[in-house]
Amino acid sequence: MLLLLGSARPCPALLLLLLLLASSARSRRGKQPRCPQGCTCTKDNALCENLRSVPHSFPPDVVSLSFVKSGFSQITSGSFLHTPSLQLLLFTANSFDSIDEDAFQGLPHLEYLFIENNKIESISPQAFRGLKSLLHLSLAYNNLETLPKDVFMGMDALTKV
């Protein structure tokens, strides 16, 4: 308990200030997103299986996200705006067949993107727009016959495809 110097009584102004600070800190933290149903999460990793769509709530510190055997048909524009800390994103053995324009928008720290063993037939020319930190991209074992011209434009950090 805070006391005024030379007094045995608490200082009301200081108590009020402490209460305001504690309340402000709690409201800034807010409610943290939980691990979505169908996913298993640790502090910084999430593994999702058999989902019908890309969830829009993950813990804020997730840096690695994997989708396995999921049933969504495409990766739509802005699907990952809610996971800006991602550094690794993996899709394997899913059923989607297309990747829309700006599908990976809002991932400034993404370095590794594995889209393997899916059913992808088409990729929008702007699907990877904004992935300036991407170092490694794998599109192995899909149904792609061609890639759009300039699909890798602006991906200056990319070293492996």
Could you report the per-residue pLDDT of 128-160, keeping only the tens digit for each? 999 999 999 999 999 999 999 999 998 989 998
Give the domain extent around 131: 35-138
Domain annotation covers residue 91: yes
Domain annotation covers residue 4: no
CA distance 95 to 154: 28
Domain annotation covers residue 108: yes
How many domains, the chain? 1
Place of tokens 């805070």: 2
Whether pLDDT at 15 is above 60: no
Contact 40, 59 (CB under 8 A): no
Domain annotation covers residue 9: no
pTM above 0.95, yes or no: no
Domain annotation covers residue 158: no
Q: What is the CATH number of the domain that holds 122?
A: 3.80.10.10
Q: Which helix (H) or strand (E) holds 20?
A: helix 12-29
Identify which of 57, 58, 64 has the alpha carbon closest to the alpha carbon of residue 86. Answer: 64
Domain annotation covers residue 18: no
